[in-house]
Structure 1
Amino acid sequence: MKNITLVLGASENTERYSNKAIKKLLNHNHNVKAIGNKIGEVNGVTINKGLVAFNDIDTVTLYLNPTNQKPYYDYILSLKPRRVIFNPGTENDELQHKLNEAGIAFEEACTLVLLSTNQY
């Protein structure tokens, strides 16, 4: 298994990009953890609710708008991921500044596109 990706803003709704990202990450043999606003499951990945103390998170991919990211700032920083991906619509200068100060890389990109083009 490759590095662990945390999908933040995960949903069981198959129309949601977070749902598509979980499936595509699994198809590319990535280990996936997920947190959403309600408990659920996507292709065997449990969607947790709340701040779960995961270890060894390499990448956090965001599917929350900037307002909904605020309660997760300290949590994301505490995970000490290698990078955070801001998917379209999740760009957030305030969080990016905090990541910069913590020495955590980030990019504004689409997880689905990165996987499709082997740039993930």
Structure 2
Amino acid sequence: MPKKTLVLGASLNESRYSNIAIHRLRARSIPVVAFGLREGKVVDVTIDTDRQDYSDVDTVTLYLNPKRQQEYYEYIIGLKPRRVIFNPGTENMEFVSLLRENGIESEIACTLVLLSMNKY
């Protein structure tokens, strides 16, 4: 069974990569939860605007620039995901180090590319 992904920085704008990622993840029947600035729905996924204590998150895929990520460090680490994907423009070596210290894998990659190559 596919493992749950949290899309952090989810957008209702269909031209944004986070929105496209939600579409492609769901097309592959991967369970998705999403957090963003505006409430709404993308496919069948509700975008939450309050931090939720999501259970069983395997992967967090980031769509926030490094400066915006700082306020989410503890939150993401607290979810205890197996890995965090840093999509293009989100690379953050400070956070990569923190994740490593907490036993969480990190990957500097593009979720859309990983999905298209069946490497997700």
* TM bracket, shorter-chain basis: over 0.9
SS of 1:60's equivalent in the other structure is: strand
- Aligned match of 1:59: 59
Aligned length: 120
Instruction: Give the Cα separation in 1 of the matches to 2:112 and 2:99.
Output: 22
Instruction: Give the Cα separation in 2 of the matches to 1:75 and 1:112.
Output: 24
- Aligned match of 1:117: 117
Deviations 1:66-96 (A, max 9, x none): 0111111000000000000000000001111
Instruction: Give the Cα separation in 2 of the matches to 1:116 and 1:103.
Output: 27
- Aligned match of 1:103: 103
Q: TM-score, normalised by structure 2?
A: 0.98
Percentage of identical aligned residues: 57
Shift of 1:44: 1.2
Report runs of 4+ in structure 1 exceeding 6 Å deviation.
none
- Aligned match of 2:30: 30
Equivalent AA in structure 1 for residue 112 of structure 2: L
SS of 1:20's equivalent in the other structure is: helix
Instruction: Give the Cα separation in 2 of the matches to 1:108 and 1:40.
Output: 28
Shift of 1:50: 2.1
Instruction: Give the Cα separation in 2 of the matches to 1:77 and 1:20.
Output: 25
Q: Which structure 2 residue ranges, 5 or more long, are not aligned?
A: none
Deviations 1:33-92 (A, max 9, x none): 000011111001000012110000000000000011111100000000000000000000
Q: Tell me, yes or no, if structure 1 residue 90 matches structure 2 residue 90.
A: yes
Instruction: Give the Cα separation in 2 of the matches to 1:47 and 1:57.
Output: 15
